[in-house]
Structure 1
Amino acid sequence: MRLEDCFYLGTIVSKFSFKGEVLIKLDTDDPEEYLETESIFIEVLPQKLIPFFIEKSNLQKSNLLRVKLEDITTETEADALLKKDIYLPLNQLPELEGNKFYYHEVIGFNVTDKNYGEVGVIKSINDTTAQALFVIEKNEKEILIPINDDFILLLDKKNKTISLDVPEGLIELYL
């Protein structure tokens, strides 16, 4: 499995028992959705995903998943997995309704604005800032628009378009 075919689910943050159990800090709003997961991919080396099968799992606190992995039976084996990132295939992402989307889904979407008209094409999402941003390209110029539910009028996944209503003058700042 390639890393680009997967989504980040969380990180192994600690051991739980002397029998090789680990705690995974999940990066999700709905940790319950992952209780029945049968396998995960662990990034044991950079860009190198290894599949592991789950014998049992349950939630600890709100976003910690306690997991017993097949073939991990000792503390030493569990130690080797600490601080490793966990991934699942993209096809296991729950389907989102309405104007909700995963960042990877909207790359390549055409963007229009209620007042400005045709804005450009989403080239990437910048989520390294306090506010995630659409990175839109128009005529070789970069336009940054905050990802804000109040700005999104319509998300059309079928036609790969997003209609926005951004504050007046924001788009013009970049052109």
Structure 2
Amino acid sequence: MATESQHLALVGKVVGTHGLQGDLKVRSHPENQSALLAATCLYLRQEDGELLRLVPVRTGASRGNLLFRFRGYGHISRVEHLVGCQVLVDPDELERTEEEIFWFEIAGFEVVDRERGPIGRLVDMFRTAAHGIYVVDGPYGEVLIPAIPQFVEGLDAEARVLRVDVPPGLYPDA
């Protein structure tokens, strides 16, 4: 396999089949779905550790899961054995805008507030109608930070640090 396994990012799991045409249902964190859809190919890690590199030819959605049909796997009999596989992407192969960052790339980052210093780790993210919300867990408890430029000052991917400027009213103790 040309792609090193450790370079790949885990973004989902095959949880079932859908229909007779070989579609696979993939469950992932909602914020990783955009990375799955931006992938030019997906890697499925089988139980024995072997990686399959598959090219999507059709995508869709069903009850919160994504559906994928892959080139050369156009019938249910060709994909049933793939249920349970981990789904990975190569971050270098994702089609994205220059500044686009995917959830799997920042999950677990240390979060540092301009005034309070380290406030915890980025443990989750969810969307509201207006914008994304970062969920940080640390010494201040759970802190919810709107993922907007006014609060997010930047990130250092190499150091795995997200820098923020959080107003006092957003801390649980305020």
Please indicate the TM-score interval, normalised by the length of the shorter structure: 0.5 to 0.7
Q: Normalized against structure 2, the TM-score is what?
A: 0.59
Cα offset for 1:93? Answer: 7.2
Task: Tell me the distance in 2 between the aligned counterparts of 1:53 and 1:171.
Answer: 48
| 1:6–1:165 Cα change, 3 Å | same
Task: Tell me the distance in 1 between the aligned counterparts of 2:14 and 2:105.
Answer: 20
Match of 1:134 in 2: 136
Match of 1:162 in 2: 164
Unpaired segments of 5 or more residues in structure 1?
137-141
Match of 2:142 in 1: 145
Task: Tell me the distance in 1 between the aligned counterparts of 2:35 and 2:105.
Answer: 20
Whether the 8 Å contact between 2:8 and 2:90 is mirrored in structure 1 is: yes
- Give the number of equivalent residue pairs: 155
Task: Tell me the distance in 2 between the aligned counterparts of 1:164 and 1:14.
Answer: 44
| 1:134–1:104 Cα change, 3 Å | farther
Q: Which moved more, 1:21-30 or 1:81-90?
A: 21-30
Cα offset for 1:149? Answer: 1.3
Task: Tell me the distance in 1 between the aligned counterparts of 2:55 and 2:153.
Answer: 36
1:82 corresponds to 2:83: yes
- 66, 69, 78: which one pairs with 2:68? 66
Whether the 8 Å contact between 2:10 and 2:86 is mirrored in structure 1 is: no
Moved over 6 A (4+): 29-33
Identity %: 6
1:8 corresponds to 2:6: no
Match of 1:139 in 2: none
| 1:10–1:163 Cα change, 3 Å | farther
Q: Which moved more, 1:57-66 or 1:82-91?
A: 57-66
Q: How does 1:86-105 map to 2 (within 5 A)?
A: 86-91=87-92, 92=94, 94=96, 102=103, 104-105=105-106
User: Which structure has the larger Rg?
Assistant: 1
Task: Tell me the distance in 2 between the aligned counterparts of 1:78 and 1:157.
Answer: 39
Whether the 8 Å contact between 1:39 and 1:51 is mirrored in structure 2 is: no
Q: Normalized against structure 1, the TM-score is what?
A: 0.58
| 1:39–1:150 Cα change, 3 Å | closer
Q: Which has the higher helix share?
A: 2
Unpaired segments of 5 or more residues in structure 2?
126-132
Whether the 8 Å contact between 2:119 and 2:136 is mirrored in structure 1 is: no
